[in-house]
Copies of this chain bind each other. A is one copy, B any other.
Protein backbone atom coordinates (compact mmCIF):
# COMPACT_ATOMS: atom_id res chain seq x y z
CA UNK A 1 0.00 0.00 0.00
CA UNK A 2 2.96 2.32 0.45
CA UNK A 3 4.16 1.71 -3.10
CA UNK A 4 1.13 1.53 -5.40
CA UNK A 5 3.13 1.15 -8.59
CA UNK A 6 1.36 1.59 -11.93
CA UNK A 7 1.46 -0.91 -14.76
CA UNK A 8 -0.44 -2.32 -17.71
CA UNK A 9 -2.01 -5.76 -17.50
CA UNK A 10 -4.36 -8.05 -19.32
CA UNK A 11 -6.63 -10.68 -17.81
CA UNK A 12 -9.40 -12.84 -19.15
CA UNK A 13 -11.87 -10.70 -17.15
CA UNK A 14 -11.00 -7.50 -19.02
CA UNK A 15 -12.78 -8.05 -22.30
CA UNK A 16 -10.83 -10.64 -24.24
CA UNK A 17 -7.54 -9.87 -22.60
CA UNK A 18 -7.45 -6.21 -23.60
CA UNK A 19 -4.76 -4.18 -21.89
CA UNK A 20 -5.63 -1.76 -19.14
CA UNK A 21 -4.05 0.02 -16.24
CA UNK A 22 -3.62 -1.42 -12.79
CA UNK A 23 -1.77 -0.84 -9.56
CA UNK A 24 -0.03 -3.63 -7.71
CA UNK A 25 -1.38 -4.25 -4.20
CA UNK A 26 0.40 -7.09 -2.45
CA UNK A 27 -0.24 -10.20 -4.51
CA UNK A 28 -3.03 -8.59 -6.46
CA UNK A 29 -3.54 -6.13 -9.28
CA UNK A 30 -6.30 -3.58 -8.89
CA UNK A 31 -8.13 -2.94 -12.16
CA UNK A 32 -8.29 0.85 -12.03
CA UNK A 33 -10.79 1.35 -14.84
CA UNK A 34 -13.26 -0.78 -12.89
CA UNK A 35 -13.05 1.25 -9.70
CA UNK A 36 -12.21 4.78 -10.83
CA UNK A 37 -14.61 6.56 -13.10
CA UNK A 38 -12.06 7.65 -15.68
CA UNK A 39 -11.53 6.27 -19.18
CA UNK A 40 -7.83 7.08 -18.97
CA UNK A 41 -7.39 3.83 -17.01
CA UNK A 42 -8.99 1.72 -19.72
CA UNK A 43 -6.14 2.64 -22.04
CA UNK A 44 -3.55 0.07 -23.13
CA UNK A 45 -0.70 2.23 -21.81
CA UNK A 46 0.01 4.75 -19.07
CA UNK A 47 0.74 7.47 -21.65
CA UNK A 48 -2.39 9.61 -21.24
CA UNK A 49 -2.33 9.29 -17.46
CA UNK A 50 1.35 10.24 -17.35
CA UNK A 51 0.68 13.35 -19.41
CA UNK A 52 -1.87 14.66 -16.90
CA UNK A 53 0.72 15.81 -14.46
CA UNK A 54 1.67 15.86 -10.86
CA UNK A 55 -1.61 16.98 -9.31
CA UNK A 56 -3.52 14.16 -11.03
CA UNK A 57 -0.81 11.60 -10.18
CA UNK A 58 -1.03 12.62 -6.56
CA UNK A 59 -4.82 12.82 -6.42
CA UNK A 60 -5.14 9.39 -8.00
CA UNK A 61 -2.82 7.95 -5.39
CA UNK A 62 -4.93 9.45 -2.60
CA UNK A 63 -8.12 8.10 -4.16
CA UNK A 64 -6.69 4.58 -4.58
CA UNK A 65 -5.47 4.57 -1.00
CA UNK A 66 -8.98 5.51 0.17
CA UNK A 67 -10.54 2.78 -1.90
CA UNK A 68 -8.18 0.20 -0.47
CA UNK A 69 -8.33 1.27 3.16
CA UNK A 70 -11.87 2.47 3.76
CA UNK A 71 -13.99 -0.58 4.55
CA UNK A 72 -17.05 1.08 2.98
CA UNK A 73 -15.51 0.54 -0.46
CA UNK A 74 -14.60 -3.09 0.16
CA UNK A 75 -17.52 -4.62 -1.68
CA UNK A 76 -16.86 -2.50 -4.72
CA UNK A 77 -13.11 -2.99 -4.78
CA UNK A 78 -12.61 -6.65 -3.92
CA UNK A 79 -14.00 -8.08 -7.18
CA UNK A 80 -11.44 -6.05 -9.10
CA UNK A 81 -8.40 -7.21 -7.19
CA UNK A 82 -7.05 -9.80 -9.61
CA UNK A 83 -4.46 -12.37 -8.52
CA UNK A 84 -1.02 -11.47 -9.90
CA UNK A 85 -0.64 -15.03 -11.10
CA UNK A 86 -3.62 -14.60 -13.46
CA UNK A 87 -2.52 -11.43 -15.22
CA UNK A 88 -0.02 -10.81 -17.97
CA UNK A 89 2.05 -7.65 -17.62
CA UNK A 90 3.01 -5.49 -20.59
CA UNK A 91 5.30 -2.61 -21.47
CA UNK A 92 3.71 0.07 -19.28
CA UNK A 93 4.19 3.12 -21.52
CA UNK A 94 5.25 4.04 -25.03
CA UNK A 95 8.95 4.79 -24.89
CA UNK A 96 9.51 8.11 -26.65
CA UNK A 97 13.26 8.78 -26.47
CA UNK A 98 15.59 6.59 -24.42
CA UNK A 99 18.74 8.09 -22.94
CA UNK A 100 21.32 6.18 -20.95
CA UNK A 101 23.60 8.05 -18.56
CA UNK A 102 26.85 7.01 -16.90
CA UNK A 103 26.41 8.45 -13.43
CA UNK A 104 28.18 6.04 -11.09
CA UNK A 105 31.63 7.18 -10.10
CA UNK A 106 32.58 3.65 -9.12
CA UNK A 107 31.33 2.15 -12.39
CA UNK A 108 33.02 4.77 -14.56
CA UNK A 109 36.23 4.36 -12.56
CA UNK A 110 36.14 0.58 -12.81
CA UNK A 111 35.60 0.68 -16.56
CA UNK A 112 38.41 3.21 -16.91
CA UNK A 113 40.79 1.02 -14.89
CA UNK A 114 39.89 -2.08 -16.90
CA UNK A 115 40.29 -0.49 -20.34
CA UNK A 116 42.91 2.19 -19.71
CA UNK A 117 45.00 0.76 -16.85
CA UNK A 118 47.77 3.30 -17.28
CA UNK A 119 45.64 6.42 -17.45
CA UNK A 120 43.38 8.44 -15.18
CA UNK A 121 40.27 6.26 -14.84
CA UNK A 122 37.87 9.19 -15.28
CA UNK A 123 37.88 11.30 -18.44
CA UNK A 124 38.17 15.08 -17.92
CA UNK A 125 34.48 15.78 -18.55
CA UNK A 126 33.11 13.19 -16.12
CA UNK A 127 32.92 15.32 -12.97
CA UNK A 128 31.55 18.32 -14.87
CA UNK A 129 28.49 16.81 -16.50
CA UNK A 130 26.44 13.62 -16.41
CA UNK A 131 27.78 11.85 -19.50
CA UNK A 132 25.00 10.25 -21.51
CA UNK A 133 23.91 9.13 -24.96
CA UNK A 134 20.76 8.11 -26.78
CA UNK A 135 19.80 4.45 -26.95
CA UNK A 136 17.20 2.62 -29.02
CA UNK A 137 13.67 3.30 -27.75
CA UNK A 138 12.14 0.64 -29.99
CA UNK A 139 13.98 -2.21 -28.32
CA UNK A 140 13.02 -1.38 -24.74
CA UNK A 141 11.10 -4.49 -23.68
CA UNK A 142 9.16 -5.50 -20.62
CA UNK A 143 10.57 -7.82 -17.99
CA UNK A 144 10.34 -11.46 -19.00
CA UNK A 145 10.95 -10.88 -22.69
CA UNK A 146 13.58 -13.39 -23.89
CA UNK A 147 16.93 -11.86 -24.75
CA UNK A 148 18.37 -13.49 -27.86
CA UNK A 149 22.15 -13.48 -27.93
CA UNK A 150 23.02 -10.97 -30.65
CA UNK A 151 25.25 -11.51 -33.64
CA UNK A 152 27.72 -8.88 -34.60
CA UNK A 153 31.21 -7.85 -35.53
CA UNK A 154 33.96 -8.15 -32.96
CA UNK A 155 37.69 -8.06 -33.30
CA UNK A 156 39.60 -10.77 -31.46
CA UNK A 157 42.57 -9.53 -29.41
CA UNK A 158 45.57 -8.95 -31.65
CA UNK A 159 43.64 -9.45 -34.89
CA UNK A 160 43.51 -6.78 -37.54
CA UNK A 161 40.16 -7.62 -39.08
CA UNK A 162 36.88 -8.34 -37.30
CA UNK A 163 35.05 -11.65 -37.29
CA UNK A 164 31.29 -12.16 -37.26
CA UNK A 165 29.26 -14.30 -34.91
CA UNK A 166 27.26 -14.45 -31.71
CA UNK A 167 28.54 -12.22 -28.92
CA UNK A 168 30.85 -14.07 -26.54
CA UNK A 169 30.93 -11.29 -23.96
CA UNK A 170 27.29 -10.76 -23.07
CA UNK A 171 26.77 -8.66 -19.97
CA UNK A 172 24.19 -6.90 -17.86
CA UNK A 173 24.00 -3.38 -16.51
CA UNK A 174 21.91 -2.89 -13.37
CA UNK A 175 20.28 0.51 -13.68
CA UNK A 176 17.39 2.66 -12.53
CA UNK A 177 15.24 4.34 -15.17
CA UNK A 178 13.22 7.56 -14.85
CA UNK A 179 9.94 7.99 -16.71
CA UNK A 180 8.94 11.44 -17.95
CA UNK A 181 5.23 12.14 -17.57
CA UNK A 182 4.97 15.79 -18.55
CA UNK A 183 7.14 16.88 -21.44
CA UNK A 184 8.75 20.25 -22.10
CA UNK A 185 8.75 22.31 -25.28
CA UNK A 186 11.63 22.70 -27.72
CA UNK A 187 13.86 25.56 -26.64
CA UNK A 188 12.98 25.48 -22.93
CA UNK A 189 15.52 23.95 -20.54
CA UNK A 190 13.91 22.32 -17.52
CA UNK A 191 15.16 23.99 -14.32
CA UNK A 192 16.58 21.50 -11.87
CA UNK A 193 13.85 22.46 -9.38
CA UNK A 194 11.13 21.29 -11.78
CA UNK A 195 12.29 17.65 -11.80
CA UNK A 196 9.27 16.24 -9.94
CA UNK A 197 6.83 18.20 -12.11
CA UNK A 198 8.08 16.25 -15.12
CA UNK A 199 9.19 12.85 -13.89
CA UNK A 200 6.45 10.49 -12.79
CA UNK A 201 8.43 7.61 -11.41
CA UNK A 202 11.09 4.97 -11.69
CA UNK A 203 11.60 1.52 -13.19
CA UNK A 204 14.34 -1.02 -12.78
CA UNK A 205 16.29 -1.40 -16.00
CA UNK A 206 18.76 -3.93 -17.35
CA UNK A 207 20.83 -2.48 -20.16
CA UNK A 208 22.01 -5.76 -21.76
CA UNK A 209 25.41 -5.17 -23.33
CA UNK A 210 27.49 -7.18 -25.81
CA UNK A 211 30.94 -6.05 -24.72
CA UNK A 212 32.77 -7.49 -27.73
CA UNK A 213 30.48 -5.80 -30.24
CA UNK A 214 30.59 -2.57 -28.25
CA UNK A 215 34.39 -2.50 -27.96
CA UNK A 216 34.87 -2.75 -31.72
CA UNK A 217 32.16 -0.32 -32.81
CA UNK A 218 32.06 2.45 -30.22
CA UNK A 219 34.73 4.85 -31.45
CA UNK A 220 34.16 7.67 -32.12
CA UNK A 221 30.36 7.92 -31.89
CA UNK A 222 29.52 5.72 -28.90
CA UNK A 223 27.72 2.42 -28.26
CA UNK A 224 25.28 1.27 -30.93
CA UNK A 225 24.61 -2.41 -31.76
CA UNK A 226 26.34 -3.56 -28.58
CA UNK A 227 23.36 -2.15 -26.68
CA UNK A 228 20.45 -1.84 -29.09
CA UNK A 229 19.34 -5.49 -29.21
CA UNK A 230 17.36 -5.26 -25.93
CA UNK A 231 16.88 -3.11 -22.85
CA UNK A 232 14.56 -4.63 -20.23
CA UNK A 233 12.43 -2.64 -17.79
CA UNK A 234 10.27 -3.67 -14.88
CA UNK A 235 6.54 -3.75 -15.59
CA UNK A 236 5.68 -1.56 -12.60
CA UNK A 237 6.46 2.14 -12.54
CA UNK A 238 6.94 3.28 -8.94
CA UNK A 239 5.80 6.89 -8.50
CA UNK A 240 8.36 9.32 -7.07
CA UNK A 241 5.76 10.06 -4.44
CA UNK A 242 6.16 6.53 -3.05
CA UNK A 243 9.87 7.17 -2.60
CA UNK A 244 9.73 10.19 -0.28
CA UNK A 245 11.32 8.23 2.57
CA UNK A 246 14.10 7.06 0.25
CA UNK A 247 15.25 10.56 -0.68
CA UNK A 248 18.77 11.41 0.37
CA UNK A 249 21.32 14.04 -0.47
CA UNK A 250 23.43 12.99 -3.40
CA UNK A 251 27.17 12.58 -2.79
CA UNK A 252 29.17 15.76 -2.39
CA UNK A 253 30.45 16.94 -5.76
CA UNK A 254 33.95 18.26 -6.35
CA UNK A 255 34.39 20.43 -8.32
CA UNK A 256 31.06 22.17 -7.74
CA UNK A 257 28.94 21.68 -10.85
CA UNK A 258 27.97 24.61 -13.04
CA UNK A 259 24.95 26.52 -11.69
CA UNK A 260 22.36 24.83 -13.91
CA UNK A 261 23.36 21.50 -12.36
CA UNK A 262 23.40 22.61 -8.73
CA UNK A 263 20.91 20.62 -6.69
CA UNK A 264 18.08 22.40 -4.92
CA UNK A 265 16.48 19.41 -3.22
CA UNK A 266 17.68 15.98 -2.19
CA UNK A 267 16.97 13.73 -5.15
CA UNK A 268 19.42 10.99 -4.35
CA UNK A 269 17.45 7.79 -3.75
CA UNK A 270 18.46 5.18 -1.20
CA UNK A 271 17.47 2.16 -3.27
CA UNK A 272 19.12 -1.15 -2.60
CA UNK A 273 19.35 -3.28 -5.74
CA UNK A 274 19.84 -7.05 -5.81
CA UNK A 275 21.42 -8.59 -8.88
CA UNK A 276 20.50 -12.28 -9.05
CA UNK A 277 22.06 -14.67 -11.56
CA UNK A 278 20.05 -17.87 -11.84
CA UNK A 279 18.48 -17.09 -8.49
CA UNK A 280 21.71 -16.39 -6.63
CA UNK A 281 22.34 -12.83 -5.50
CA UNK A 282 25.76 -11.90 -6.87
CA UNK A 283 25.78 -8.17 -6.12
CA UNK A 284 23.94 -5.48 -4.16
CA UNK A 285 24.51 -2.11 -5.84
CA UNK A 286 23.51 0.88 -3.67
CA UNK A 287 21.77 3.56 -5.74
CA UNK A 288 22.43 6.23 -3.09
CA UNK A 289 26.09 6.30 -4.15
CA UNK A 290 25.33 7.66 -7.62
CA UNK A 291 27.40 10.77 -8.20
CA UNK A 292 24.88 12.48 -10.48
CA UNK A 293 21.25 12.46 -9.33
CA UNK A 294 18.14 12.22 -11.48
CA UNK A 295 17.26 15.91 -11.21
CA UNK A 296 20.71 16.74 -12.55
CA UNK A 297 20.29 14.29 -15.42
CA UNK A 298 17.05 15.97 -16.56
CA UNK A 299 18.49 19.47 -16.18
CA UNK A 300 21.47 18.46 -18.29
CA UNK A 301 19.43 16.61 -20.93
CA UNK A 302 17.41 19.75 -21.63
CA UNK A 303 19.88 22.57 -21.09
CA UNK A 304 20.51 22.84 -24.83
CA UNK A 305 16.79 23.36 -25.40
CA UNK A 306 16.01 19.73 -26.29
CA UNK A 307 12.34 19.03 -25.76
CA UNK A 308 11.07 16.10 -23.73
CA UNK A 309 7.93 14.06 -24.24
CA UNK A 310 5.60 11.88 -22.23
CA UNK A 311 7.24 8.46 -22.18
CA UNK A 312 10.81 9.65 -22.37
CA UNK A 313 12.92 7.21 -20.43
CA UNK A 314 16.33 8.03 -19.07
CA UNK A 315 18.46 5.64 -17.14
CA UNK A 316 21.19 6.18 -14.58
CA UNK A 317 23.86 4.01 -16.11
CA UNK A 318 25.24 1.00 -14.31
CA UNK A 319 24.86 1.30 -10.57
CA UNK A 320 28.07 0.24 -8.82
CA UNK A 321 29.12 0.92 -5.26
CA UNK A 322 32.69 1.07 -3.96
CA UNK A 323 32.83 -2.58 -2.87
CA UNK A 324 33.33 -5.54 -5.13
CA UNK A 325 30.00 -7.03 -4.03
CA UNK A 326 28.28 -3.81 -5.11
CA UNK A 327 29.22 -3.83 -8.77
CA UNK A 328 26.37 -3.67 -11.27
CA UNK A 329 27.88 -5.44 -14.28
CA UNK A 330 29.68 -8.71 -14.87
CA UNK A 331 32.61 -7.02 -16.54
CA UNK A 332 33.27 -5.29 -13.22
CA UNK A 333 32.34 -8.24 -10.99
CA UNK A 334 34.66 -10.58 -12.90
CA UNK A 335 37.14 -7.77 -13.74
CA UNK A 336 36.99 -8.35 -17.48
CA UNK A 337 37.35 -12.11 -17.04
CA UNK A 338 40.42 -11.96 -14.80
CA UNK A 339 38.45 -12.91 -11.67
CA UNK A 340 35.48 -15.06 -12.73
CA UNK A 341 32.50 -15.18 -10.42
CA UNK A 342 32.05 -18.48 -8.58
CA UNK A 343 28.42 -19.52 -8.39
CA UNK A 344 26.79 -21.76 -5.80
CA UNK A 345 26.34 -24.57 -8.35
CA UNK A 346 30.12 -24.76 -8.75
CA UNK A 347 30.21 -23.06 -12.13
CA UNK A 348 31.94 -19.80 -12.87
CA UNK A 349 30.95 -16.81 -14.97
CA UNK A 350 32.81 -14.02 -16.65
CA UNK A 351 29.96 -13.28 -19.03
CA UNK A 352 26.45 -14.68 -19.55
CA UNK A 353 25.82 -18.16 -20.91
CA UNK A 354 22.77 -19.29 -22.85
CA UNK A 355 19.98 -20.13 -20.43
CA UNK A 356 21.18 -17.74 -17.75
CA UNK A 357 18.47 -15.70 -16.08
CA UNK A 358 19.28 -12.32 -14.58
CA UNK A 359 16.82 -10.68 -12.22
CA UNK A 360 17.22 -7.22 -10.77
CA UNK A 361 15.05 -6.34 -7.78
CA UNK A 362 15.17 -3.43 -5.37
CA UNK A 363 13.82 -2.13 -2.11
CA UNK A 364 13.65 1.31 -0.57
CA UNK A 365 12.89 2.70 2.89
CA UNK A 366 9.19 3.33 3.48
CA UNK A 367 7.75 6.09 5.66
CA UNK A 368 6.86 3.61 8.42
CA UNK A 369 10.42 2.35 8.76
CA UNK A 370 9.81 -0.84 6.80
CA UNK A 371 11.04 -1.34 3.26
CA UNK A 372 8.96 -1.23 0.12
CA UNK A 373 9.60 -3.23 -3.02
CA UNK A 374 10.29 -1.80 -6.45
CA UNK A 375 9.51 -5.16 -8.01
CA UNK A 376 11.86 -6.73 -10.47
CA UNK A 377 13.07 -6.91 -14.02
CA UNK A 378 14.11 -10.30 -15.34
CA UNK A 379 15.33 -11.80 -18.57
CA UNK A 380 16.74 -15.10 -19.82
CA UNK A 381 19.42 -15.45 -22.47
CA UNK A 382 18.25 -17.46 -25.46
CA UNK A 383 20.77 -18.93 -27.88
CA UNK A 384 21.76 -16.89 -30.91
CA UNK A 385 19.82 -17.50 -34.09
CA UNK A 386 21.01 -20.74 -35.67
CA UNK A 387 23.79 -20.35 -38.13
CA UNK A 388 21.40 -21.27 -40.95
CA UNK A 389 19.88 -17.86 -40.42
CA UNK A 390 23.29 -16.44 -41.15
CA UNK A 391 24.19 -18.75 -44.01
CA UNK A 392 27.88 -18.19 -44.69
CA UNK A 393 27.57 -15.05 -42.62
CA UNK A 394 24.85 -13.67 -44.87
CA UNK A 395 21.36 -13.01 -43.50
CA UNK A 396 18.99 -15.39 -45.26
Question: Which residues of A are interface residues toward B (Cβ below 8 A)?
Answer: 96-97, 99-100, 102, 123-125, 128-129, 131-139, 141, 148, 150-153, 155, 160-162, 164, 186-187, 189-192, 210, 213, 216-226, 228-230, 255, 258-260, 262, 299-301, 303-309, 312, 385, 389-390, 392-396
Chain B residues positioned under 8 Å from A124 (CB to CB): 155, 160
- Given A133-B224, A230-B186, is A191 in contact with B395 using a C-beta cutoff of 8 Å? yes
Q: Quick check: A312 and B138 within 8 Å, CB to CB?
A: yes
B139, B385, B390: the one within 8 Å of A307 (CB): B139
If A260-B395, A306-B229, A390-B260 touch, does A221 touch B102 (CB 8 Å cutoff)? yes
Query: A123 to B223, alpha carbons, bound, how many Å?
Result: 15
Residues A189 and B393 in contact in the complex (CB < 8 Å), given A132-B224, A228-B304, A305-B229: no
Give the number of times this chain occurs in the complex, counting copies. 2
Contact of A131 among B148, B217, B396 (CB under 8 A): B217
List, in ascending order, chain B residues with CB within 8 A of A164's CB.
258-260
Which of these, B131, B161, B392, contacts A259 with CB under 8 Å?
B392
- The answer to whether A134 touches B135 (Cβ under 8 A) is yes
With A134-B133, A151-B304, A151-B305 known as contacts, the answer to whether A223 contacts B225 (CB < 8 A) is: no
Contacts of A255 in B (CB 8 A): 161
Residues of B within 8 A of A190 (CB): 395
Query: Known contacts being A133-B133, A306-B136, A393-B258, is A141 close to B300, with CB within 8 Å?
Result: no
* Complex Cα spacing A275 to B115, Å: 41
One of B160, B186, B221 near A132 (C-beta < 8 A): B221
Query: Which residues in B have their C-beta under 8 angstroms from that of A395?
Result: 189-192, 260, 299, 303
In the complex, what residues of B have CB within 8 A of residue A260's CB? 164, 390, 393-395
Taking the closest CB of chain B, its distance from the CB of A166, in whole angstroms, is 10
Complex contacts, A228 vs chain B, CB 8 Å? 134, 304, 306
Cα–Cα distance between A192 and B391 once the two chains are bound (Å)? 13
Q: Which residue of B lies closest to A167 (CB)?
A: B304
Contact B131 A309 (CB under 8 A): no
Distance to closest chain B CB from A120 (angstroms): 12
- What is the CA–CA distance of A97 and B139 in the complex, to the nearest angstrom? 10
**What is the CA–CA distance of A320 and B191 in the complex, to the nearest angstrom?**
39
Assembly CA distance A213 to B258 (angstroms)? 14
A229 closest partner in B (C-beta): B304
Q: How far is the CA of A72 from the CA of B223 in the complex (A)?
A: 56
* CB pair B303 A138 closer than 8 Å: no
Within the assembled complex, what's the spacing in Å between the Cα atoms of A396 and B193? Answer: 9
**Do the beta carbons of A133 and B258 come within 8 Å of each other?**
no
Contact assessment for B217 and A218 in the assembled complex, using a CB-CB cutoff below 8 Å: no
A128 → chain B closest CB, angstroms = 5
Q: A186-B139, A223-B222, A305-B148 are in contact. Are A191 and B394 (CB under 8 A)?
A: yes
Question: When chains A and B are docked, how far (Å) is the Cα of A151 from the Cα of B312?
Answer: 21
- Is there contact, CB below 8 Å, between B210 and A128? no
Complex Cα distance, B100 from A136, in Å, reads 12
Let me know if B138 and A308 touch, CB within 8 A: yes
Residues of chain B with a CB closer than 8 A to A224's CB: 99, 131-134
Q: Which residues of B contact A230 (CB under 8 A)?
A: 186, 305
Q: Tell me the minimal C-beta distance from A377 to chain B in angstroms.
A: 17
Q: Which residues of B contact A151 (CB under 8 A)?
A: 189, 303-305
Question: Which residue from chain B places its CB closest to the CB of A396 in the assembled complex?
Answer: B191
Specify which chain B residues have a CB less than 8 angstroms from the CB of A304 in the assembled complex.
Answer: 150-152, 210, 213, 225-226, 228-229
| A222 touches which of B129, B222, B258, B393 (Cβ 8 Å) | B222
